[in-house]
Amino acid sequence: MSATATVTAQKVSHGQARRCVSAGPYSLTEAYYSADQIVARHEHAFPSWTLLLNGSFQEKFSREELICFPGSVLIKPATADHSNRYGTTGAHCLLIEAHEEDTLTGGRGAAMFAVTRTCEGGLIPSLAKRIYREFGSADPVSGFALSVLLIELSGATARPTEPSAKKHWLNNVRDQLEAEFRSPPSLSELAHGRDVHPVYLCQAFRREFGITVGEFVRQLRFEWARDALRVHAGSICDIALEAGFSDQAHFTREFTKRAGQSPARFRQSKV
């Protein structure tokens, strides 16, 4: 790859291009999209990474819908037809297109774009942010640095994903909720500790465990209270408060909905 980057006149689809650069088999475009902008279904000529710098957007594909927030990277193949909806403040993005994907990583280029996905944390977003910094630099060696970072980005993307690593942080979220279900942390607190956006955490949790975060906490409270009714001699009000319910009436409504009978009747049936 050439160690120089060349400013080009390339345009970005449906947005306003502020700066365009070619670096070997890659093209980089800084783009802005209007608030509440909607783009009809389309596809792009090349596979790409999109680093969202500010704002938000969602891309709707035939089988899924992905929501992106600042700091996230969307990876997609050229053939992924999709529509876009931009947020209330629009979006500021860095689009990186790969024009010769088969040569980027020893023949693994096509495979690394095989699945449309978002990366909220880890190596890929970190590299993309460093690329953006070099992209805007006037340093004499920035072209070389940019080329190196783009190769690293391709390598990181081509590397097989680590489902166990993904599952590890989700298991950690689940374990924390199990330990703190009486007074669970906020979604922002849960997400901040894992370097992901709260919306991404909710989506990943539901995909992994088949249940929303809120419903998971409600189920934990119910199960703890049900076991407590079997073995504890304390009042129903005390059990309700200890389980994290706001009051006995709230507990009774939730318990009856799940167990099909009131806490008092359940306790009597277990005597």
Q: How far is CA 257 from CA 229, 245, 252, in A?
A: 16, 14, 8
Q: What is the pLDDT of residue 147?
A: 87
pLDDT tier at 202, thresholds 50, 70, 90: confident
What does the pLDDT read at residue 136? 80
Cα separation, 32 vs 92, whole angstroms: 5
Distance, CA of 115 to CA of 45 (rounded, Å):
16
For residue 1, pLDDT over 60 is answered with no
Which H or E run contains 91? strand 82-98
In the predicted structure, residue 166 carries a pLDDT above the cut 70:
no
Range of weakest confidence among 7-11, 71-75, 78-82, 113-117 = 7-11
6-161 in CATH: which number? 2.60.120.10
The continuous run of DSSP H or E covering 258 comes out as helix 248-259
Q: Which fold has domain 163-172+180-271?
A: Arc Repressor Mutant, subunit A (1.10.10)
What are the tens digits of pLDDT across the range 229-270? 988 878 999 999 999 998 999 999 999 999 999 999 998 886
| Residue 3 scores a pLDDT above 70 | no
pTM: 0.61
